[in-house]
Amino acid sequence: MLEKKIGEPCPTCSTPLQRRRSTFRTIVGDVAFCARCCSSFELAKEEDKALAAFGPPQYAL
């Protein structure tokens, strides 16, 4: 699965990607999702680190 960041354009239709809960069995957590063409992409590693900063301080990286 391709890695994309939230807000990047979809490679198929150029719509900005948004965050969505994964519906795949092999991917736990959120994915970058295109609502227009219903395609999903794995989140880039930088996204995961940025999300940790918003959680409780004991869980921050």
Per-residue pLDDT tens digits for 11-58: 999 999 999 888 777 777 888 899 899 888 888 876 445 555 555 555
Sequential DSSP letters for 1-61:
--EE-TTSBPTTT-PBPEEEE---SS--SEEEEETTTTEEEEEPHHHHHHHHTTS-GGG--
**pTM value > 0.85:** no
Residue type, 39: S
β-partners of residue 21 are 30
Per-residue pLDDT tens digits for 47-60: 445 555 555 555 55
